[in-house]
Structure 1
Amino acid sequence: MRNLKGKTAFVTGGASGIGLGIAEALLDRGVRVTIADLRKDRLVEARDLLGHRGELDTTLLDVIDRDAFAAAAAQMEDRQGGCDILVNNAGVGANPKVDAVRYEDWDWVLAVNLGGVVNGIMSFMPGMLRRGSGHIVSTASMAGLLPTANNCIYAASKYAVRGLSDSLRLTLAPRGIGVSVLYPGLTQSRMLQSAENRHPQFRSDVPASAPEGGPIAMPEDAGMSARDAGEAVVEGIIANRDYIISHSEFRDELAAHFNSILADCPPAQTIDPFRLMLEEARRRETAEAERAVEALTARAD
């Protein structure tokens, strides 16, 4: 998607942190942005901060509410003719100690971090398919590429976003729709305050033995600026990047991790012919989809 001016975007979790940085970067390129967030007070703050930068709308949205998500998509279709860029950014974190983890912790994080992405795709993808164009960006995390200790719930949600997006990228490219995933490292955000927005249905009377709120106990102002992360996302949309990796400090660690995976592959062996036939058919299908991704990347629109 080379030319963003005049396009429309819907950004969940857009009133603070990375979402706000993405919204700002999109506005500066002439995109008409709708920020969706769970908190009305933060939507007001976001409008005060960014309203002068371009065409900005705000909407109150809980990403686990499928009906509300569908209504937001329908409203955008009516008012703006649809959504060109969907940014599934809303996310939460919980890191209770492993001996205190509860089903409510799993249900909350997966409902927002994975379910919110699914709900966004299901609400906005049909319109993109009808128009034969669009781009979907979902925020994962370095925790979706690299294993981390004491972070299993958050990591599970982010690895799922990665797998969903990797498959969807190949599926949607022939239909003119790009798919990218953001893998940020430490970024200035309100992730550590996410526990205060925990939905009542995911609360429990059983106390956690560790503070909830985020995968890493860092100050709110630590890490990359949200605007820099937002710039990386917009550049990734323009270039139709599969993976948007904003933090260069992970390069060596990523190389070591994926080399360790390759090292665990069994040595060359005689393979059952039927098994080989099935895998070769899958590879041909994947290669065809990858050519569609390349063609979409080269397309100027």
Structure 2
Amino acid sequence: MRDLSGRVAFVTGGASGIGLGIAEALLDRGVKVMIADLREDHLAEVGERLGNRDGVATIVVDVIDRGQMAEAARRTLDTFGRCDILVNNAGVGVNPSVDTVTYEDWDWVLSVNLGGPINGLMAFLPHMLQRGEGHIVTTSSMAGLLPTAENYIYAASKYAVRGMSDSLRLTLASRGIGVSVLYPGLTRSRMLASEENRQARFRSPAPILAHSGGPIEPPKDAGMDPREVGEAVAEGIIHNRGYIISHAEFRDELAAHFEAILAECPPPQDIDPGRRMLEDARRAQTAAAMRAIAALTAST
């Protein structure tokens, strides 16, 4: 998708943080954007921030609600006539102790962070398949690449997004649709205040202790400017990058982590002939899919 001008994007979690950074970066490249968010008050703030800028529309959407996501797709098509770029960005985080974790904690995070992107795909992918082109970006996290303590629910959702997107990239390359995964590090956003948006059915029977200072938010100057992340995403779409990594400071940790994984692979001489044939076949399939991706990149 070398030229983004005139394209249409749908961005979830688009009223603040990374979602807003992505929306603004796309708008600056001539993309029309439907900004979706759970919070009507945050969308109102976006309206004030963007003023009367052309090519912007907003919609209140709970990404875990399949009916609302289907309606959002219809509204996007009715408003702009098409949707070229789907950005599954909305996310929440909770880090309960293993001594206090509840089913509600698991259900909430997985419903938003994994269920939301699934609902986005189900709502928008048929339109992209019909048109034979498009691009999908889903926000994972460095927690989807690097393990961290006390972050197991969030990590589970973000690793799942990674696996889903990697497979979809191979699956959809021959259909003219690019797929990218965004792996941001600490970014200025409202992520740490997401608990205040937890839907009633996901609240624990035990009362959640409120922080004495109100909703927990990172310091205003902590983390990367969301617009920087948005710029990385826009360039990732243009160049059809499978992995969009905005925070360079994790390079050494990533190298060490994946080297540790590779170190556990059996040496080639330990693989029996039957298994070698299977792995050779898999490599051939992967190579064919990568050639399809390369061809798509060259032609878009």
Task: Give the TM-score normalised by structure 1.
Answer: 0.94
Partner of 1:89: 89
Instruction: Identify if the C-alpha distance between structure 1 residues 197 and 220 changes in structure 2 by more than 3 Å, giving closer, same or farther.
Output: farther
Query: How far apart, CA to CA, are the structure 1 residues paired with 2:101 and 2:217?
Result: 17
Tell me which residue corresponds to 1:221: 221
Deviates more, 1:218-227 or 1:139-148: 218-227
Give 1:30's aligned amino acid. G
* In the alignment, structure 1 residue 137 sits paired with structure 2 residue 137: yes
Separation in structure 2 between the aligned mates of residue 137 and residue 159 of structure 1, nearest angstrom: 15
* Alpha-carbon distance, 1:77 to partner: 2.1
Quick one: distance in 2 between partners of 1:210 and 1:105? 16
Q: Does 1:170 align with 2:170?
A: yes
The answer on 1:66 being equivalent to 2:66 is yes
Instruction: State TM-score, norm by structure 2.
Output: 0.95
Distance 2:22 2:174 in 1: 26
Distance in 2 (CA, whole Å) between partners of 1:123 and 1:32 is 18
Contact in 2 for aligned 1:96/1:208 (Cα 8 Å): no
Within a 5 Å distance, the mapping from 1:23-172 to structure 2 comes to 23-172=23-172
Distance in 2, Cα, partners of 1:21 & 1:149 = 28
1:98 CA displacement: 1.6
Please report how far the alpha carbon of residue 209 of structure 1 lies from its aligned counterpart in structure 2 after TM superposition: 7.5
Question: What is the SS of the residue equivalent to 1:269?
Answer: helix
Q: Supply the distance in 2 between the matched residues of 1:267 and 1:210 (Cα, whole angstroms).
A: 52
Q: 1:262-301 to 2 correspondence within 5 Å?
A: 262-300=262-300
* Separation (CA, whole Å) in 2 of partners of 1:11 and 1:258: 31
d(CA) in 2 for partners of 1:153 and 1:254?
21
RMSD: 1.6
Q: 1:42 to 1:252 in 2, by over 3 A?
A: same
Asked if the contact 1:95–1:210 (Cα under 8 Å) also holds between the matched residues in 2, the reply is no
Please say which of residues 70-79 and 21-30 is displaced more in the overlay: 70-79
Letter in 1 for 2:6: G
Task: Verify the 8 A CA contact 2:190 2:217 in the aligned structure 1.
Answer: no
* CA deviation profile, 1:23-57 (whole Å, cap 9, x unmatched): 00111111000000000011111111124443100
Q: Distance in 2 between matches of 1:283 and 1:103?
A: 39
What is the SS of the residue equivalent to 2:138? strand
Tell me which residue corresponds to 2:15: 15
Structure 1 residues 229-268: aligned runs within 5 Å: 229-268=229-268
**1:200 corresponds to:** 200
User: SS state of the match for residue 255, structure 1?
Assistant: helix
CA distance in 2: counterparts of 1:280 and 1:240, whole angstroms: 27
Which letter does structure 2 place at the counterpart of 1:87?
V
Does the 8 Å CA contact 1:97/1:208 hold for their aligned counterparts? no
Change (3 A) 1:225 1:27: same
Q: In structure 2, what is the equivalent of residue 2 of structure 1?
A: 2
Mark the CA change 1:69 to 1:203 in structure 2 (over 3 Å): closer, same or farther. Answer: same
Counterparts of 1:40 and 1:106, CA distance in 2? 26
> Shift of residue 279 of structure 1?
2.4
Give secondary structure in 1 for the equivalent of 2:241: coil
Q: Which runs of 5+ in 2 are unaligned?
A: none
Rounded to whole Å, the distance in 2 between the matches of 1:198 and 1:208 is 11
8 Å contact kept, 1:96–1:210: no
Give a deviation string over 1:160-192, Cα, whole Å, max 9, x none: 000000000000010000000110000000001
Q: Partner amino acid for 1:16?
A: S
Deviations 1:130-150 (A, max 9, x none): 000000000000000001011
Q: Is the 8 A contact 1:15 1:37 kept in 2?
A: yes
Change (3 A) 1:264 1:218: farther
Runs of at least 5 residues in structure 1 that lack an aligned partner in the other structure? none
| % identity of equivalent residues | 70
Letter in 2 for 1:24: E
User: SS at the partner of 1:266?
Assistant: coil
Taking the aligned partners of 2:295 and 2:197, their CA distance within structure 1 comes to 42
